[in-house]
Amino acid sequence: MIEQVLLADGEICRFCSSTAGRRIMIESEFGFAAWDLHPASVGHFLVIPHRHVSDYFKINDQERQELWRLVSEGKAMVDVKHNPDGYNIGINVGKWSGQSIPHLHIHVIPRYQGDVENPKGGVRGVIPQKKLYTIELD
């Protein structure tokens, strides 16, 4: 039975509430991978620990190892099903990084040639004015 965690706003954590309705790809002792309900691209999935913990830096070594194994296994599934040209992998830690659900989750977002005009900078795009940069050599 999954423990239901009540959040500060009085809501139940959506990742702790139930496995019913989840679009689970794979599951393990410490977590699971599930298709994102609001995907940024075709094949976007999340890797989520079973234990309610909001901060990536507060998981233990067993959880960390298992979650990254789920990232790799999920990526292999997406490769077969959708054949993307690349991936962005990201974790939001804290309100000011954009974390809206206070339960750790790793985004694995497939990328496709032409999905944006200029992909340079990748994850740096979370701060738009820092996305494009030039390397200055002395």
Catalytic residue set: 105
Please check whether residue 109 is in contact with residue 137, taking contact to mean a CB–CB distance below 8 angstroms: no
Q: How far apart are CA 43 and CA 66, in angstroms?
A: 21
Please check whether residue 132 is in contact with residue 87, taking contact to mean a CB–CB distance below 8 angstroms: no
Please check whether residue 67 is in contact with residue 59, taking contact to mean a CB–CB distance below 8 angstroms: yes
